[in-house]
Amino acid sequence: MDSDITELMSKERDYETLKEAWVNWRNASGKKMRKMYEEYVNLGNEMAVKNSIKDLKFNDLGDLWLE
């Protein structure tokens, strides 16, 4: 996270200012990370399914984490 937004988030107390900063940061960073995050989720799901064993079947990474 950018040091400017980190400082703002740690010191600012006005809800609307914090909300605007968060939304702007999320819009900027989310677009850059979307493809990598989708790949991360797909790889995690594949790993979970492949690591299923006889009595412990995983449909996705969420199942594995909950176990």
pLDDT reading at 1 higher than 70: no
CA distances from 24 to 7, 11, 34, 54 (A): 15, 17, 16, 47
pLDDT in tens, 9-43: 999 999 999 999 999 999 988 888 999 999 999 99
CA distances from 35 to 41, 50, 62, 64 (A): 10, 23, 19, 23
Query: What's the whole-number mean pLDDT along residues 36-64?
Result: 94
pLDDT reading at 4 higher than 90: no
Q: Is the pTM of this model over 0.85?
A: no
- Separation between Cα atoms, residue 60 and residue 46, nearest integer Å: 7
What are the residues whose beta carbons fall under 8 Å from the beta carbon of 22, sequence distance 6 or more?
9
Token pair for residue 43?
A: 């790889």
